[in-house]
Amino acid sequence: MNSRFRHSTPIPFIPLAILFLSIASLTRLALTLYTGMATVPLTLWPELFLRGLGFDLVVLSWILAPMLLWAALWPARWRNTRWRGQFRLAIFLVAAVVLIFGALSEWTFWEEFSTRFNFIAVDYLVYTHEVIGNIVESYPVAALLSGVFILAVGLTWLFRSAIRRAPAPASGARWRLGYAVAAFALPWAAWHLGNIDQMEFSGNAYANELSGDGLMTFAAAYQRNELDYDRFYFTLPASQAKHILAGLDVHIEPGPANPSIRPTTFNTPDMPFRRPPRNIVLISVESLSARYLGSFGNQQGLTPKLDALARKSLVFTNLYATGTRTVRGLDALTLGIPPIPGQAIVRRPGNEHLATLGEILHHQGYESLFIYGGYGYFDNMNAYYASNDYRVVDRTDFPKASVGFANIWGVADEYLFDNSLTQLDKVYATGKPFLAQIMTTSNHRPYTYPDGRIDIPSPGHREGTVKYTDYAIGRFIEQARSKPWFNDTLFIIVADHCASAAGKTKLPVAGYHIPLIFYAPALLAPGRDDHLASQIDIPPTVLDVLNRPGSQRFFGRSLFKSGPEGRRAFISNYQELGYLKDGKLTVLGPKQNVETFAISADDEATPIPLDLTLRDEAIAYYQTAFRAYKDGNLKMNPIAAPGT
């Protein structure tokens, strides 16, 4: 046996380990510099990078495990061949390409979401068509991939001698046993010593995120996509939770709404409508943060159509989205339910025939529609809506001649609205009242839209798509004015979520602030409601406005019945569950963690002693909502619609 091989150092794969740690550390440094010292104070950097190195070592342990197992099993006669050096260079090159590409992916993900890889990245692996198409339409992919390859080749060439001279694994039985033990011991130790909860070392959410390792956070998000509330969160006895909710006028009653029973609250002083509308058009706008609207203080002139509409509408100025994804908004707008931890109900199994707004109205003789400009298989939207008695109309149902522009996410909003008008006219011709939820797509990366509509050329970044969506909504309303059903219709315009929910805290309140506009000039006088409200309050409000039964199936409360006292909002990511009330934010987290923050007018969150009343209210809402779904109590027993 070659003497050099006999005396080789028994610690293999050093070049690959150095490569991984170097790229991981440089990625963290680049993201930290990009975020800036004003956002992440320099005093947090030492612990940020020290913890980051620890997380990188945890990930490295998992990466090395299969290599060490290979070292234990690889035949000795294959270890000292003449092609060993070339094989090492090839392995190093492949690893460099993968790791540099991963760093580039982390950069683009951070630019969009200001977090390390999380559950959104996990979802992206499922919907590769949209995600890959979005990347191709948003970035110069060929140039970026070429750059990645050239950089990887350059690194391999620069360190070629060290890579070739690196020691091979020892071949003795004792060393083989050691490699095999290490292959299992390292990931075992990493599993027990490191987890993403250790990222929470400061009160600065950016610093906490930057300390992480993207592969580790991705794996944790995959593992925690389904979170059992009873296992991970603080709980109360069910009877106590029910009593608390009853005191808040929340009574979740199972069973269908009887269409012969009419609410008795329509003619109360709080109801601003002159008479109930016959139809509802609910426009859920992709990523429309309140801060983009001039009627909410924006000075860029991005929403002239919506601002003009707002002056003739009832505007709710203090409404908050429940989450950071479209599916969370769809949960809230159909089920009126607080956001349960883990995956949204839209994407969960067993979500058919729930007591959704559309299903309740369907069984009272309404035509319920969900109209979407993209492919509705994304995020399970088609299956969810169809199984809850909505008639689904998506991109595949639009005549090709009716679509003048589209990108990977869907048809341009103006063509979505054109096709929506066609559908609404058809329903009107049948004599049925309708509930139509229209979901837009244009306000999304790659930020492309038809030319000549607005004064910002396509692609126009977020500002351009906001202004284009504003144009499309204004055009839709103008076209609807000529329809015979216009004067009997309430148009509701609301966002599914904000464009970004990043901030220095886990749940930055301003990152969930969305507009809500009620427009029905023949039925409703203009006005403003500045009281706190939640996205989950919209479904019961719709039933209240229609003077229809069924609101007892929702956790939300009608905005025309609750009064200003006791108003609250729910905000969340996929782990932290927030309850906003009386200027305080109560946050329920995994491991039975509960915190209370005072929220200032400029959105600063200051930790304060735990408010036990608000804690128990938050737990009562979230715990009961989770159990109601888990136990099937959100199901609706169908009844025959009138006249059938």
pLDDT digits (tens, 9 = 90+) for 316-375: 999 999 999 999 999 999 999 999 988 899 998 899 999 999 999 999 999 999 999 999
Establish if 84 belongs to a structural domain: yes
Q: Are the C-beta atoms of residues 641 and 362 closer than 8 Å to each other?
A: yes
The verdict on 23 and 77 lying in the same domain is yes
- Within 8 A by CB and 6+ apart from 63, the residues are 16, 20
Establish if 265 belongs to a structural domain: no
Domain assignment of residue 170, given as a range: 3-223
The verdict on 206 and 331 lying in the same domain is no
Nearest-5° Cα angle at 108, 222 to 216: 30
Q: What Rg do the C-alpha atoms of the chain give, in angstroms?
A: 28
- Helices 173-193 and 45-73 sit at what angle, rounded to 10 degrees? 150
The total number of structural domains in the chain stands at: 2
Answer yes or no: is pLDDT of 4 > 60.
no
The verdict on 210 and 317 lying in the same domain is no
The verdict on 103 and 215 lying in the same domain is yes
Domain of 458, CATH number, reads 3.40.720.10
Task: Tell me the pLDDT tens digit for each residue of 56-93.
Answer: 999 999 999 998 888 888 776 665 666 677 888 998 99
Q: Are the C-beta atoms of residues 532 and 569 closer than 8 Å to each other?
A: yes
- What value does the mean pLDDT take over residues 386-391? 96
Establish if 263 belongs to a structural domain: no
The full DSSP string for 510-545 is: GGGEEEEEEE-TTTB--EEE-S-EEGGGHHHHHHHH
The verdict on 186 and 245 lying in the same domain is no
The verdict on 606 and 504 lying in the same domain is yes
Establish if 261 belongs to a structural domain: no
pLDDT value at residue 126:
60
Cα 554 to Cα 338: distance, rounded to the nearest angstrom: 10
The verdict on 411 and 340 lying in the same domain is yes
Q: Are the C-beta atoms of residues 587 and 597 closer than 8 Å to each other?
A: yes
Instruction: Please state, as a whole number, how many other Cβ atoms lie within 10 Å of the Cβ of residue 175.
Output: 16
The verdict on 215 and 303 lying in the same domain is no
CA 323 vs CA 338, 502, 506, 534: distances in Å: 10, 12, 12, 11
Predicted structure pTM score: 0.81
The verdict on 150 and 294 lying in the same domain is no
Q: What's the distance, Cα to Cα, between the start and end of the chain in Å?
A: 88
The verdict on 243 and 197 lying in the same domain is no
Establish if 638 belongs to a structural domain: no
Task: Tell me the pLDDT tens digit for each residue of 589-613.
Answer: 887 899 999 999 888 889 999 999 9
Q: Parallel, antiparallel, or unpaired for β 577-581 and 569-572?
A: antiparallel
- What value does the mean pLDDT take over residues 403-409? 92
